[in-house]
Structure 1
Amino acid sequence: MCSSAHHCMYSLLQQNLHRLSSRAMAMERGYANWSLILLLCGLLPIATQAGRQMPKLSDKKLCADAECSHPILIARALQDYYPQDCRFIPIRQGQLVYVYAMLKDRGNLYWAGSVQGTYYSEQEARLGHFPSSIVEETHALMPAEVLVKTDKWDFYCP
C-alpha cells in the first residue's frame, strides 16, 4: 500500500516506466535480431556469387595419376599469355610451367598447369589453363596415361 498519494503516483509511474523500458528493450532486441537476420540474408547472395562456374573447356583430361596431382612435364613459355578469363593463368615469356593435365577432345588445345615464378614474385601460384602452343616441353616427368573426367571445379572461378 502507498503511504501517500504522491508516493502511490510515483510508484505507479516507476512501474510503468520499468514496463515500458522492458518492452522497448525487447523490441530493440527484436529489431537487432531482425537486423542481423536481414544483414546476413543480404550478404549471403554476395558470398555465394563470389565464385562462378564457367563453361567446361573439355569433358576429359590426361594426367599422370587419377587425381592429377603429379606434374607430367615442365615447359618453358615461348611468349607472354594474357588470360581471357579466370579459368586461365597469365604466363610471361621464359617462365617455367608445371603441366598437370592435358585436356582432350574439344579442349585439346589447352593444358592445365602452374607457373613457376621467382622467389620474390608478386604472382601467387595457382593452377589454371593455357594454350599448349605457347610453351615448349623442357623436361618429361611422368607419362600422361590416365584419362580422367573433368568436373565443375576444373573450371570454377574463385
Structure 2
Amino acid sequence: MLFLAAGKAGKQMPKLSNKKLCADSECSHPILMARALQDYYPGDCRFIPIRQGQLVYVYAMLKDRGNLFWAGSVQNTYYGDQEARIGHFPSSVVEETHALMPATTEVKTTNWDFYCN
C-alpha cells in the first residue's frame, strides 16, 4: 500500500494489521474523503503528517485492531519532487465528508505496506 522506493537505508517496520478493507483488490480507488479535525505528526515513515482542515483521500481501513488506522493521501501535499505518498494515520484525527466507493474487499497486508525508506 505504501508507495515508497526501496533503498539501502530502508527497513521493515512492525505490522499495524494483517488485513485491510478496500474498494478493490489493489486498494487503488479511494473509498472516502475525510477532513482533518486536528494536526497529526507521525512517529515514523509508515504514517503521513496531516494538518487540521486538510482533505484526505482514504484508500484502506486496517482491520485487525478495530478501525484504529486508515491509509490515504493528503490532497495537494508534496514531498520533495514527488507527489503525495500514501501513508497511515489514526482514523480518530479525521471525519468522513464524502463516501466514494464501498470498502467491501478484504485484502491481506504485505511487508510493503509497512516498509520505511
TM-score by length of 1: 0.65
Partner secondary structure for residue 65 of structure 2: helix
Matching residue within 64, 67, 70 for 1:105: 64
Equivalence for 2:3: none
Partner secondary structure for residue 113 of structure 2: helix
Taking the TM superposition and a 5 Å limit, the aligned residue runs for 1:6-45 are none
Partner Cα distance (2:23, 2:67) in 1: 16
Q: Percent identity?
A: 82
Structure 2 unaligned blocks of 5 or more: 1-6
Matching residue within 32, 35, 45 for 1:86: 45
Partner Cα distance (1:52, 1:106) in 2: 23
**Residues 107 and 126 of structure 1, relative CA distance in 2, 3 Å threshold:** farther
TM-score by length of 2: 0.87
Please list every run of at least 4 consecutive aligned residues from structure 1 whose deviation after the TM superposition is greater than 4 angstroms. 121-124
Q: Quick check: which has more Rg, 1 or 2?
A: 1
Matching residue within 14, 22, 28 for 1:69: 28
Alignment root-mean-square deviation, CA: 1.6
Structure 1 unaligned blocks of 5 or more: 1-46
Structure with the higher fraction of residues in strand conformation: 2
Structure with the higher fraction of residues in helix conformation: 1
Matching residue within 132, 136, 143 for 2:91: 132
